Amino acid sequence: MVKNQWFNDLEDEVMIIIPGQEHPYLMTFDNENQPIFLTFQGDTCKFLGLLNFKP
């Protein structure tokens, strides 16, 4: 479930984009397949570790 002031719906797929020098963000799509980008703050190193991802 993604819920904020711009979007409130269940999601089948969310892409997490982690640029090198910027905050990470989520990319999802609305009902008309328009992309929505949501920034967030969090410990992406811990998250990537849980996924056993090593860039």
Q: What pLDDT score does 17 carry?
A: 92
Q: What pLDDT score does 21 carry?
A: 86
The DSSP symbol for 7 reads -
Q: Along the chain (55 residues), what's the average pLDDT of each consecutive run of 10 residues?
A: 77 86 87 86 85 83
| Interatomic CA distance for residues 43 and 33, integer angstroms | 29
Q: What pLDDT score does 52 carry?
A: 92
Domain map of the chain by residue range? 2-50
Q: What pLDDT score does 1 carry?
A: 74
Q: What are phi and psi of 32, to 5 degrees?
A: -105, 15
CB distance 7 to 38 below 8 Å = yes
